[in-house]
Structure formats: C-alpha cells, structure tokens
A and B are shown apart, each in its own frame.
Chain A
Amino acid sequence: MCSTLKFECETGNYHTFCPISCVAWLYQKISDSFFLVIGTKTCGYFLQNALGVMIFAEPRYAMAELEEGDISAQLHDFDELKRLCFQIHQDRNPSVIVWIGTCTTEIIKMDLEGMAPKIEQMIGCPIIVARANGLDYAFTQGEDTVLAAMAHRCPEYHQNHPNLVLFGSLPNTVANQLTGELANQGIHVSGWLPESRYEELPELGPGVFVCGVNPFLSRTATTLMRRRKCQLIGAPFPIGPDGTRAWIEKICQVLNIQPQNLDQRENSIWESLQPYISLIKGRSVFFMGDNLLEISLARFLVRCGMIVYEIGIPYMDKRFQASELSLLEKTCQQMNVSLPRIVEKPDNYNQVQRIRSLQPDLVITGLAHSNPLEARGITTKWSVEFTFAQIHGFTNARDILELVTRPLRRNNHLKDLGWSDLVQDSSLI
C-alpha cells in the first residue's frame, strides 16, 4: 500500500467533449447573455448533436460559421464579426456577447481580443472573448476560460471590510443552497461569478476573499488572484457531505469563524445516504477521466466505502486542487484502502486494457465507451451526467449516489437472466 499519491501521465489519446460545450450551461445560467461560437461546421455539428433538444428552443447562442473566404482572408474578419454582432444585438438585445474562440481562430490567428473592444464600442454592448478551444482545453475547462475572461469585467471593490465571492457556474437553486449553508455559519456571500445576470457581476479587488466550487476553475482562480488581487481560499470542493463540510470549515477558518453544528449536519446527511452506501460498499470503481470532477468524486466514493482503482483526469492542477488531493489522501488512510493511481492525459486504449484485467464493478466513462463496455459485461455510468446534474452541497449528495448506483441497481435486476455478455467475439475484453 503506497502512502502518497502517485501521478502518471499518458499519451492524451482520450475521449472528451470539446470545451465549447460550456455554452450549453453558461447561456442558461447567465440569462441576459449571448454566446457566439466563432468556428467551423465541425464545432456546429458537435454542439447541435451534444446539446440535442436544447437547439430547438431558440437558444441564446449561435455559430459564426467560418467559410473558405474567412480562412483565406478574402473576407475581412473585422467587418464580418461586426455585421454578425450588430445583427445579434438588434435581434436579441443581450447585456453581453461572449465570443468563443475555437481551434480554427487560433490557427488562423484571428485577433479576437484586439477586435472585441472596437466592435464593443461600435454596438454599445460588452463583448467578452474566451478561447475555449480543443487545442488547449478539455470539456469543463471551457467554463474556466469564460469565467477567467469575465473576471476582468467585474466592478472594482472599494470598501475596507473583507468580503466573500464564490466562483463557478451552478444552477441557481444550488447556488442558493450553498449561500444558505454559509449563512448558517454567519458568513455573508457578497456575490457569485457568474451571477444569473451579467449586469449583476460581483465587485472584486483587494480585500475580497474568493473560493471556487468546482475543480476545473484554475485559470479563473489565477486571474482572480493575480489580476484582481483577491485572496484565494484553497479548499476541497463542496461535492459530497465530506467535501461540503471541509469546504465550509476552510472558509470559516480563513474568515476566523468557529463553525457551528457542522458535525451534526454532516452526520445526518451520511445517515440518510445509508441505503445507497450499502449498495456500493466494497465495490470497485474506475474513472476513465474526461471532466476534471474526478478527484472530488473519487474522494467522496472512497468515503462511501468504494475502492478506486484509477482516476483518469484530463488535466491536474496540483496547486488549485491541493486541498482536495490531501483530503483524498486522508480519506484513503481513514478508510484503510490503497491510494488510487492518478493518470493525467490518459490513453483510452490502454485504459480499456487495464479495465479488462481489473474487471471493476463500475467504470465512469464518456458516451463513446459506455455501450461497448456494457456489451462486454462491464457496468458503466456516463460521466457527462455528473456535469449536468446537481451534485454540490449537503442537499445534493444523494443525487451523486443516485447516479452512481443507478447502473448497479439496474444490473441487479437483470443479473440472473444470464445475458450480461452481449458481444459475439468477446476476446477483446
């Protein structure tokens, strides 16, 4: 049994969503925004298929589809973007237009940051530029690039007494729940980045404490510290009752407050989770890795009594996730299980070989591998659901386990039928 976490790095041949997918949840969160993805048919096709029915509900996002003339610079990109933004401004009148730069704008070196301020002035509507491209980022990191860009637009904070701002996009009910948990400790949350309206962005500056709610927000954290001179509270993330408790404790500690009744609150949640825990206790789990929530989820599942074989993760910021990593270590010791291997930039092919030899009880993976693994008798849960479900705070711990146990519960029903292996040539696994 190794005593410290080991980090490995593979080839980066893994499946994940393109980071432009962040528009899916961000346009819904920021209700007066409009997202313009400047890219090609490939980007459009991905969004249209990944977002499914949302497309048909007149979403507040669109593609600025680059054509051959744009690539070969026969068309003037400034005029083109100006034309489209004028149109959007006229048709939708948003409070902010967010340009999402893509791989193509990177390669042809389209100067989005240079053009945005000029067009912003001409149409009188703020334009924010985020480079959420697949060359540099994976899936949820898209949100990170948008929030980092948005942090520059927050008004300056001028008061003397310290203030707390939380960052990370959460559904409004979940944000309210977390705000409420802190209010129970006498802590006032003065704002969120992002708020549900662009016009309500929180004030930032020296004297403001900031704390993240999601593990993939490292650029935002850096921007808040370096550019807005805020003080970062490095805490584990409020995922699972253990994470939520540690998160609140850390904030209390920094703000010099003695936490009240946290023990009882956490215990009563664990109590209510017992039926789920009895289903997964002693079972093994394998994270293939695609959304950066993996460390926090693994830590929670270890605390629930599961054995984690491998945590695949697209990108590991050891500084931003430091508290989360040490809580994972502590939890493994406390539960007396060996530390999982953490594999950054995993290689899906190699992972499938490892899954074959380990035969874990549950594989948490993307949609590309779920059905093929299920056909080979391996139980899977698709990871994307964790991104869209409500998983933060005490209240939503149940939802995480609802997701984790669903395939196990389903397969429990089917297990005696004798047809769990459904491929003809099962030599592959």
Chain B
Amino acid sequence: MKLAYWMYAGPAHIGTLRVASSFKNVHGIMHAPLGDDYFNVMRSMLERERDFTPVTASIVDRYVLARGSQEKVVENITRKDKEEKPDLIVLTPTCTSSILQEDLQNFIRRAQASTDSDILLADVNHYRVNEFQAADRTLEQIISFYVRSNPNEIVQTKKPSANILGIFTLGFHHQHDCREIYRLLKDLGIEINLVIPEGCAVTDLKKLTKAWINIVPYREIGLMAAKFLEKEYKMPYISTTPMGLVETAAWIRQICKQTNSQMDYEQYIDHQTRFVSQAAWFSRSIDCQNLTGKKALVFGDATHAAAITKILVREMGINVCCAGTYCQHDGDWFREQVQAFCDQVLITDDHTRVGNMIAEIEPAAIFGTQMERHVGKRLDIPCGVISAPIHIQNFPLSYRPFLGYEGTNQIADLVYNSFTLGMEDHLLEIFGGHDVKTVITKNLSTDLIWESSAMEELQKIPGFVRNRIKRNTEKFARSRKLEKITVEVMYAAKEALGA
C-alpha cells in the first residue's frame, strides 16, 4: 500500500478509452462499477466535446459480484451494436474487473455471434501498466487487428506519404500540433495518409500500409504501433519530436532522407529557422540576454520534458538545474536525452519529491505540469505548463502548437513570460521592489537573531527573491555558527553563496 494524494499518470483504462473514443465510430464499454465512467466527464468538460462520449459502462454491482456478469456484458455489447452501429466495440477491463477474473474474452466470443461490429478486449493489466502504456498497447492492438485482417498486397502511394500516429483526445495541445505537422509535411511535399487515432475510422486502417513512413510525435503513445508496423510491414518510423528549432530541423532531415526527397531541405530549414520562426532571432535579441544563466527546473512526460530541457539550454542559454519525468518506464531514454543538458536528472512519479526538489533548488522559473504550477504558486515561483496532467485552461481555443516552427514561437513566448521580465527585474533590484510586504517566514528559523539594520536591508530586496536571500543568509550564518545576522553577514553570505 502506498500513501498517495496525487498522480501524474491515470489508470490503465483511461488510456484505452482515450484511444477508443478518439477513433471515429468506435464504442468503448468498460466493465466497471457505478461512477467509474468519470472519463466521460473529463472528455466533455476538458475537451469541451460537443458529442456524447462513445463510452458506456457495463455496471458491476452487488449482483455481479455474487453471480458473475453472466448475460450482462453480452447484452450490453449487443445493445450498443444495435443503438450506435459502431465499427468496433472495445471492451475494457478496470481495476475492479481485473480482480474479478471473469472470462471477458468468452463474453466477446458469445457477443460476436449476434453483432455486426468487430469486438476487441483491451489487453491491459490495471496493476502493471499506467494510462500511457495502456494507450500505447491498445493502439497497437487495434492497428494490428485491422492491418492483419486485410492481408492483401497493398501498394505504396505514388507520392511520398506519412501516417501520424498518436494524436489523441485529452492530449496536451494535440490538435494544434497535428495541424502544425500537417503544414510542415505539406511544405515538404509529403501527403498525409492517415492521422491515427483522432478522427480516423477503423475501416480506413486497411490503407495504413500505403504510407511510406510513420511519424510518432510523442514517445508515450504510438511507439509500440510504429515498431509493430516496422517489424511486420517494413515501414520505417520517425520518433524524433519536432519540438524546438534544432529538433525540428533534425526531424525534417530524417523525413526527407527516409522519403528520398529531392527538395533542398537544408535551404528550407535555414529559411524557416532564421526568418519564418521568430524564436532564433528572439533568443539573439538583447531582451533575452537577461535570461542567460537563469535557473530553471523542468518536469513532465518524457517527450515534453526532454524537448523543453534541450530548448532552454541549447536555444536560449538558460541553466536547467534539474530535468525530470514521471514516465518511469521510459527513464533510460530520458536520462540519455537530457544528461548532457542539465545538472541532475529526476525520475519519479512522487509529486512530493518534485516539490521538495523545487523548494531546494529555488529556480527562477519552473516548466512542468499543473502540479508544479501549484507548487510554484506556493513558493512564489512562476511556472509554465508544458505537459499533462493538465486542467481546462490547457485546452486553449486559439492556435497553440508546441511542435514545428509555430511551436517554437509559442514556446519562446511561454518561456519569456514565465521569467520576471528583464527590465522590470533590473528596476526592482535598483529600487527595492514595488511591495512593502514584510518578510514572511516560511521556514523554521527561530534560533537566529536579525539585527534591525540587517532587517532593514532585507526589506530593500525585491519581494520575489527576498525569501531566498533570507534563507541563504541564514543557511550561511548557521554554517558559520553565527547567532546574529548583521548587514555584514548578509554581504558575506552573498559573496559566499552568490545569492
């Protein structure tokens, strides 16, 4: 048993339902107790979805517990088949049904006799995998089911084309990213064969192998399917995430090489980087000098945290003290990606460890999930949200991709706005801040005495760094076994700690 208040990744069935409900005309049925259909609320509220979420529960209640589901699951499947006429019904187990150990596969076999829809049992174990792993697996499962059931030789498209794997409902800025990728590919003369699963009909999956390549923008979901298609159908895939100028360029090069592109893509990259995207110029402009060496902490899913870390360090000259991810199953990849770019790597799904790390490092800005945003609020540190888990405000209506060249502009804005603005920073330092708030002691220091002149000096320090200065000075005083803090001690501390 684990004492927990909060989690970064949801339970397995959420991943399966995200895949199922992203496809067009696919219905998810959960074998679950009353109240477990909270997924519908999230989709309807966060995505502001206009349509009824195609997910129902086959309710597990006291009777089911006593007698087994018997006809109930079969009835629910045949009923949905009649009502909604879906192409595919995905039956998904939940934590509850995992331990009931009913033979769900058998229910499916029986239901198949009387339905027109295809039926699949999601192959996920609640206690072994999380939301992302389950989504990854379910996507592979559905794709392999439909590709395999059409064994006819399929001819590649005449012009180079690509599938995009892993655009989902409830994904972080997925819709915007998808549009941006589409634009990029169009520039490169590459057609989109299928976008999977968002808005894709499973009946179209038989066309999947017509594409020349598969593109997996996010590592968390889609990689398994891409690997399967590479192994079975020799389709190459590109799993680089085109986030940031350097990575977008690398992504374009890989795609063009894989498709034997005849175009002068280096020139395209150069033009886009220097003149279409504003990010390269922006980080060179004098305004951005103030960001040099500022401390930041990055935390999120593996894809976003790694990409943002690289952008901050490589493209903006910011010092990332700590980069971390909650995707523990992908920890090795993450470590390898960011090791050279940050002081330390944190791989954990315990939000209190992340919070403690932030408190310890006291970065000038955080780039993380909604949880880090709240930690930032408490510690008075600004935070840009770069990854799920997210709230409704992270489903913006306006065009906000993180990928591609427009994505670099969006990220530059996000980063810049998260730090206290440059000139303001200077003025605050010179004139001692706008506020006259007294020092709030958030820490345990009661053993040290602040001389009144030192206290006065402390008041002159801008509010947003005052606590840090105070803590650093006290840390310094303790290390020197000083009981009284004078102005001199403050200056000595500043010199010693660079605070």
Most buried by A among B5, B34, B44, B130: B34
Q: Which of B95-103, B199-207, B478-486 contacts A (4 or more CB under 8 A)?
A: B95-103
**12 interchain pairs, CB-CB under 8 A:** A12-B34, A13-B59, A41-B126, A42-B36, A44-B4, A65-B2, A83-B1, A134-B36, A136-B62, A368-B41, A371-B45, A423-B50
Cβ A64 vs Cβ B52 within 8 A: no
Most buried by B among A16, A66, A134: A134
Interface string of B93-124 (1 = CB under 8 A from A): 01110011000000000000000000000000
- Known contacts A71-B99, A372-B49; is-contact A65 B4 (Cβ 8 Å): yes
Interface size class of B (residues with CB under 8 A): 35 or more
A68 CA / B126 CA spacing, docked (Å): 9
Most buried by A among B53, B65, B99, B374: B99
Cβ A67 vs Cβ B2 within 8 A: yes
Interface string of B350-372 (1 = CB under 8 A from A): 00000000000000000000010
Interface string of B41-59 (1 = CB under 8 A from A): 1101100111111001101
Cβ A107 vs Cβ B38 within 8 A: no
A248 CA / B60 CA spacing, docked (Å): 41
- Known contacts A104-B96, A349-B83, A368-B37; is-contact A44 B1 (Cβ 8 Å): no
- Known contacts A135-B65, A139-B35, A368-B53; is-contact A41 B95 (Cβ 8 Å): yes
* Residue A275 at the chain B interface, CB threshold 8 Å: no
* Residue B40 at the chain A interface, CB threshold 8 Å: yes
Residues B1-44 near A (CB distance < 8 A): 1-7, 10-11, 13-14, 32-38, 40-42, 44
Cβ A134 vs Cβ B33 within 8 A: yes
A63 CA / B44 CA spacing, docked (Å): 26
* Residue A281 at the chain B interface, CB threshold 8 Å: no
Cβ A135 vs Cβ B61 within 8 A: yes
* Residue B128 at the chain A interface, CB threshold 8 Å: yes
A83 CA / B50 CA spacing, docked (Å): 46
* Residue B281 at the chain A interface, CB threshold 8 Å: no
Q: Taking CB as reference atom, which chain A residue is nearest B10? A: A45
Contact partner of B5 (CB less than 8 A), chosen from A19, A55, A108, is A55
A38 CB contacts on chain B under 8 angstroms: 1
A108 CA / B52 CA spacing, docked (Å): 34
Q: Taking CB as reference atom, which chain A residue is nearest B58? A: A13
Main secondary structure of the interface of B (DSSP, over half): mixed
Interface string of B382-399 (1 = CB under 8 A from A): 000000000100000000
Cβ A103 vs Cβ B60 within 8 A: yes
* Residue B275 at the chain A interface, CB threshold 8 Å: no
Q: Taking CB as reference atom, which chain B residue is nearest A133? A: B33
Contact partner of A64 (CB less than 8 A), chosen from B2, B34, B40, B99, is B2
* Residue B127 at the chain A interface, CB threshold 8 Å: yes
A12 CA / B52 CA spacing, docked (Å): 18
* Residue A359 at the chain B interface, CB threshold 8 Å: no
B130 CB contacts on chain A under 8 angstroms: 41
* Residue A381 at the chain B interface, CB threshold 8 Å: no
- Known contacts A45-B11, A63-B5, A139-B35; is-contact A369 B95 (Cβ 8 Å): no
Contact partner of A84 (CB less than 8 A), chosen from B1, B6, B56, B95, is B1
Cβ A12 vs Cβ B7 within 8 A: no
Q: Taking CB as reference atom, which chain B residue is nearest A136? A: B62
Residues A360-390 near B (CB distance < 8 A): 366-372, 375
Contact partner of A107 (CB less than 8 A), chosen from B56, B57, B100, is B100
Most buried by A among B2, B4, B14, B45: B2
- Known contacts A13-B59, A62-B5; is-contact A49 B42 (Cβ 8 Å): yes
Interface string of B274-299 (1 = CB under 8 A from A): 00000000000000000000000000
B41 CB contacts on chain A under 8 angstroms: 15, 49-50, 366-368
Contact partner of A136 (CB less than 8 A), chosen from B40, B42, B56, B61, is B61
Cβ A80 vs Cβ B1 within 8 A: yes
User: How far is the CB of B119 from the nearest CB of chain A, in Å?
Assistant: 18
Q: What 20 additional pairs, Cβ within 8 angstroms, besides A18-B38, A55-B6, A368-B44? A: A12-B34, A12-B59, A16-B35, A41-B11, A44-B6, A46-B35, A53-B374, A56-B374, A71-B127, A75-B1, A77-B1, A104-B99, A134-B34, A135-B61, A136-B61, A138-B35, A368-B40, A372-B51, A372-B52, A423-B50
Cβ A375 vs Cβ B34 within 8 A: no
Cβ B4 vs Cβ A375 within 8 A: no
Cβ B33 vs Cβ A375 within 8 A: no
User: How far is the CB of B487 from the nearest CB of chain A, in Å?
Assistant: 36
- Known contacts A71-B99, A84-B3; is-contact A370 B35 (Cβ 8 Å): no
Interface string of A186-216 (1 = CB under 8 A from B): 0000000000000000000000000000000
Most buried by B among A42, A61, A107, A136: A42
Residues A48-106 near B (CB distance < 8 A): 48-50, 52-53, 55-56, 59, 61-68, 70-71, 75, 77, 80-81, 83-84, 87-88, 103-104, 106
A325 CB contacts on chain B under 8 angstroms: none
- Known contacts A368-B53, A372-B52; is-contact A103 B391 (Cβ 8 Å): no
B13 CB contacts on chain A under 8 angstroms: 42
B40 CB contacts on chain A under 8 angstroms: 15, 368
A49 CB contacts on chain B under 8 angstroms: 38, 41-42
Most buried by A among B4, B48, B128: B4
User: How far is the CB of B64 from the nearest CB of chain A, in Å?
Assistant: 8
Contact partner of B35 (CB less than 8 A), chosen from A19, A63, A83, A428, is A19
Residues B51-86 near A (CB distance < 8 A): 51-53, 56-57, 59-62, 65, 76, 83
Cβ B34 vs Cβ A138 within 8 A: yes
A67 CA / B48 CA spacing, docked (Å): 33
A52 CB contacts on chain B under 8 angstroms: 391
* Residue A273 at the chain B interface, CB threshold 8 Å: no
Q: Taking CB as reference atom, which chain B residue is nearest A138? A: B34
User: How far is the CB of B98 from the nearest CB of chain A, in Å?
Assistant: 8
B35 CB contacts on chain A under 8 angstroms: 16-19, 46, 134, 138-139
* Residue A352 at the chain B interface, CB threshold 8 Å: yes
A422 CB contacts on chain B under 8 angstroms: 50
Cβ B3 vs Cβ A62 within 8 A: yes
- Known contacts A42-B11, A135-B60; is-contact A63 B95 (Cβ 8 Å): no
Cβ B5 vs Cβ A59 within 8 A: yes
B10 CB contacts on chain A under 8 angstroms: 41, 45
- Known contacts A55-B5, A84-B1; is-contact A369 B33 (Cβ 8 Å): no
Cβ B48 vs Cβ A40 within 8 A: no
B5 CB contacts on chain A under 8 angstroms: 55, 59, 61-63
User: How far is the CB of A127 from the nearest CB of chain B, in Å?
Assistant: 15
Cβ A40 vs Cβ B126 within 8 A: yes
A108 CB contacts on chain B under 8 angstroms: 99
Contact partner of B3 (CB less than 8 A), chosen from A64, A138, A428, is A64
B51 CB contacts on chain A under 8 angstroms: 372, 375, 423
A63 CB contacts on chain B under 8 angstroms: 2-5
Q: Taking CB as reference atom, which chain B residue is nearest A371? A: B44
Cβ B65 vs Cβ A107 within 8 A: yes
B96 CB contacts on chain A under 8 angstroms: 42, 103-104, 107
A84 CA / B94 CA spacing, docked (Å): 25
- Known contacts A15-B40, A367-B45; is-contact A104 B95 (Cβ 8 Å): yes
B48 CB contacts on chain A under 8 angstroms: 371
- Known contacts A45-B10, A368-B41, A371-B49; is-contact A103 B33 (Cβ 8 Å): yes
A87 CA / B352 CA spacing, docked (Å): 15
